[in-house]
Chain A
Amino acid sequence: MLLSNLLVVVILMLFAGLVYYVRTNRLWRESAQSLWKRRPIAVTVVGLYFVVGILDSVAWVGGVDLSKTQDVVAASKPRTIIDRMFSPETRSERSYSAPFASKEFYGGADLTHPGSYWLGTDRLGRDVLYLAFKGVKVALLVGGLTSLIVIPLALFFGVSAGYFGGRLDDAVFFVMSTLAAIPGILLLIALITALGKGTLQVCVALGVTGWVSFARLARAETLKLRESDYVQAARALGVSDVTIIMRHILPNLSHLMVITFALLFTALVLSETILAYLGIGVDGSWGQMIDQARDELSRDPIIWWNLFGASMALFILVLSVNLVGDAVRDILDPRTLRERE
């Protein structure tokens, strides 16, 4: 419990640091402003998802009347703010009910909480909206955590290969082309089959599959930058390699990072749904919800809200990130940068 709260603090501090950095740097500030001008809705939506993810990570114990609850165990465990908002321990039904319904879908018995489920309830009578909200954290974890593992790793290998060249470059390039030669989904499957099932394993597997393309980009870009005048100058002045990389190379790769992050994120979240279908996804993900709900389409009358809830949550997130990523690319594209300066 403490750990997840601590993590939230760390993430928020990182975020604050990022905001501060963006505000102080003219170029980034302008970019951020122009992003906001172009895609106010998409940015807000991404922000909202982020907030939900954070709210679903801050947890503490207590606050439930044990005599009223359907789920003594959950009530005595740390519960997140999202849990508290939806209080699934007391608010659940026996089985399916349609959005805003006051009666059960089958049998027509009265609901215990009529009209309070915006997206209906699933087979076990759980609030679909709540489950969709819970999926946010999983998606951010899968997409975000993996990206956060991948990008530093890829930067490290890509930049050092590009900068130092020689044997190191050959070795890194060989590993990259080896991994890139294995079709992504097969590599994922092979990794998860060998590593076992679980959130961390899925993230690691996604990470191993995902880092190559970015590392390639970083390597190519570093190769170019290494030959640039100011790096040459810095070298001539005897500035150490590490300093050059930190001062001159990394900042020039930052736009790549942002763009890759957006692309990688959506790809990861979408890949997870395929893994969920194969039974090796992450528990509580939208992919799992879609997989559970896919058979419900053939019910008569049709049960659509479960599939709808999960796929809309997924769709909106991916769409917004795509839109934001797209705008970021337009704004940060080196050519536009050059034109502005």
Chain B
Amino acid sequence: MTKSISRSSLWVVIGVALAFLTACDNNPYTPDDSSKKILYTWFREAPKTLDPAVAYTTSSHQFTGVIYPSMLEYHYLKRPYQLTPSLAKSVPAPEVLPNGYVRYRFDMREGAMFEKDLCFEELAGVEHREIVASDVVFQLKRVADPAINSPVVSVFSKIAGFDEFIKALTEARAADPDFSSRRIDQQYKEAGDIEGLKTPTPHTLEVTLKEPYPQILYWFTMQFTSPVPWEAVVYYDGQDGRDHLRDHPVGGGPYRMASYNKQFRVVLERNPDWWGASPAHRGAPGTVYPSEGEPGDKERGRLDPKYVGQPVPFIDRVEFRREKEAIPSFGKFLQGYFDLSGIIQESFDQVIKNDQLSEEMVEQGVRLEKSVSPDVFYIGFNMDDPMVGHAAGERGRKLRQAMSLVVDVEEFKRVFTNGRGVPAQSPVPPGVFGYEEDYQNPFRVVDKEKAKKKLEEAGYPGGVDPETGQPLRLTFDTADTTSRGLLQSQFYVRAWRTIGIDVEIKATNYNQFQEKVRNGAYQIFNWGWVADYPDAENFLFLLESGQARSVSDGPNTANFQYARYDALFKQMKTRANDETRLEIIREMKDILAEERPWIELFSRENYALYHGWMQNVKPFGMSVPFYKYWDIDPDLRTENRAAWNRPVLWPVYVLVALFFAILVPGIRTFYRERQ
């Protein structure tokens, strides 16, 4: 018995040590996969929906953007951004009709197929079928359908007959309870045509707008206008064990969804039936690697003759692993288990020295790509609020001006983003027409004295409200309850406290925040806007009165309403980028500078890291995925991973030694005492 216990404990120790030695391998993937062209990356949270009529977030576009084909796409390398044909044979030019309407005519490629899917099998008895113009019309009708609840209905309301269709559909459903139970494509057919969407031939789509809206073409790069097979919508209804369409995309792009597990893994694989892969379309834009780019692309190895003109995609599979926490995911990037990564703030100093990659990183072959994304982050005032909004008149304006004058973005960048980001002077971000680098907003400088003066003029000397004799009390609402979000909120609040304004942070969950926004029960909030497309209209509309949250539930959460601004906006939005447009934008910026519905903060500056085995990577400002142009050298990757991840085993030996060091004298003492 004596022997057996000490022996068994010995065995346990040895067993544990052995288990360590054999199990010590931190490669999180199946070893067989290391020689394949698989891109490994991660996602933090699965998107709520992949339905192309609804999905409107970066996290969904990284999947839908390559699964659903689009009429047009962006040129991968050229800047400023340029549209190229895709499923359409050419980029259509606007055609003004006698009644002032504008028509675009898309000629679509023939013989482009949807991916093979069970829904075609079940409903039509075929493996898959051709993509035709009416599939785009069907998708736009889905966007119109109130039951789908698409976030971009107002954009497409510019199409002639779009609103009438919505009305007809709603009425038909209300009039006949059975109507809703009919098959969805039947419902749309019976509700009538959309006047501005015509398909003269199966491969021609004519889109007629009620007013000039040149930006509509950008929307044809997005999945709201992708062809969607009605079979998929009908079949994937979530009934009887079938998937929902929102979890089961059926497209015809360069990749298809191989597996979609929201909890831990999403896998995209090469779509063999992509139109771009068929010999008939070989060489069309978007099917081969581009031969032209912007200056500098050649030097950065993005116009390598090895790739120019070669058919894409190069990568066979894209694996997204779920990583809820940023730190482990970045750790895995450093270990070579993720192929690319942003730089998390915590590791910035480890990776970047003097705005350059650190030597260590360069030795590992890591490359850095910097880019400014067309977005803007801001603090907004609810202009409907009696204290800070329109109703407070001159006092409110002065108060907003004072508050704007103490928020130090440079300091914010230093503390929270390692100095990354371009301070915003107006809603228009860099890379968008209307942005002027030398423009200085008089209230986006840090000037505490001026702020104090403005505050005094507003009737709050020293931040004290003369009515109560107490510091001015305002509330700052945020939907970010994370510790980090709280620190950022505290940063703003501290700034305002220096001039005596007491701002209370109300961090609630997203649900409660939305509730507050809906009820108008908020004063100050922070928010951001990422471009749908690189045009000033897409930013300045955020403050147009027609978009006010309290009026139309639009994205103008500040509820800013200003007649002159609206008038200017109307003039600006349909103009081409000329000097007059610039003048108009300038005046709009001046109005905003003076009125201060927003305290503009910054546009993000992305530092993306890529391992040496990644080829042809170029950052893109908007959320458009371009995996098809990328390439990987799997052998180099395998080699590097092995070199970077040798387990450090000495602590195991130390622990085992320590165990015996404690045990042996213990046994001796024990026997001495007991005997």
> In the complex they form, do A and B come into direct contact, defined as C-beta atoms under 8 angstroms apart?
yes
Q: Chain A residues in contact with chain B, CB under 8 A?
A: 66, 70-74, 76-77, 94-95, 106-107, 123-124, 196-197, 276, 279-280, 283, 288, 291-292, 294-301
Q: Which of A72, A283, A295, A301 contacts B463 (CB 8 A)?
A: A72
Q: Can you show 9 pairs from A to B with CB atoms below 8 A apart?
A: A71-B497, A76-B471, A77-B502, A95-B415, A123-B416, A280-B481, A296-B346, A298-B331, A298-B350
| Residues in B neighbouring A294, C-beta threshold 8 A | 327
- Chain-A contact segment, one of B486-494, B573-581, B641-649: B486-494
- B483 on the interface (CB 8 Å rule)? yes
Q: Which of B347, B471, B481, B508 contacts A73 (CB 8 A)?
A: B471
- B232 on the interface (CB 8 Å rule)? no
- B617 on the interface (CB 8 Å rule)? no
B326-A295 in contact (CB<8A): yes
Decide yes or no: A124 and B498 within 8 Å by CB, A72-B463, A276-B483, A300-B347 being known contacts.
no
Decide yes or no: A72 and B346 within 8 Å by CB, A197-B508, A279-B481, A279-B482 being known contacts.
no
Interface size class of B (residues with CB under 8 A): 35 or more
A300-B350 in contact (CB<8A): yes
- B572 on the interface (CB 8 Å rule)? no
Q: Which of A124, A196, A283 contacts B491 (CB 8 A)?
A: A124
- B499 on the interface (CB 8 Å rule)? yes
Of chain A, the residue at the smallest CB distance from B499 is A72
B462-A72 in contact (CB<8A): yes
| Residues in A neighbouring B483, C-beta threshold 8 A | 276, 279, 288, 291-292
CA A288 – CA B483 in complex, angstroms? 7
B414-A94 in contact (CB<8A): yes
B487-A292 in contact (CB<8A): yes
A295-B471 in contact (CB<8A): no
Q: Chain B residues in contact with chain A, CB under 8 A?
A: 326-327, 330-331, 344-347, 349-350, 411, 414-416, 462-464, 471, 481-484, 486-487, 490-491, 494, 497-502, 507-509, 512
CA A197 – CA B486 in complex, angstroms? 14
| Residues in A neighbouring B499, C-beta threshold 8 A | 72
B487-A72 in contact (CB<8A): no
| Residues in A neighbouring B508, C-beta threshold 8 A | 197
Q: Which of B344, B482, B490 contacts A124 (CB 8 A)?
A: B490
| Residues in B neighbouring A71, C-beta threshold 8 A | 494, 497-498
| Residues in B neighbouring A73, C-beta threshold 8 A | 463, 471, 497, 500-502
| Residues in A neighbouring B327, C-beta threshold 8 A | 294-295, 297-298
Decide yes or no: A124 and B481 within 8 Å by CB, A73-B501, A95-B415, A299-B347 being known contacts.
no
Residue among B346, B349, B486 with most chain A CB within 10 A: B346
| Residues in B neighbouring A300, C-beta threshold 8 A | 347, 349-350
CA A295 – CA B482 in complex, angstroms? 12
CA A212 – CA B447 in complex, angstroms? 57
Q: Which of A95, A197, A299 contacts B481 (CB 8 A)?
A: A197
| Residues in A neighbouring B484, C-beta threshold 8 A | 292, 295
B346-A106 in contact (CB<8A): no
Decide yes or no: A295 and B346 within 8 Å by CB, A71-B497, A197-B481, A288-B483 being known contacts.
yes
CA A298 – CA B507 in complex, angstroms? 27
Rounded to whole Å, the gap between the CB of A274 and the closest CB of chain B is: 13
CA A88 – CA B11 in complex, angstroms? 57
| Residues in A neighbouring B502, C-beta threshold 8 A | 73, 77
Known: A73-B502, A76-B464, A296-B346. 19 other contacts (CB 8 A): A72-B462, A72-B499, A73-B497, A95-B414, A107-B414, A124-B415, A124-B494, A196-B512, A197-B507, A197-B508, A276-B483, A291-B483, A294-B327, A295-B326, A295-B327, A298-B331, A299-B347, A299-B349, A300-B349
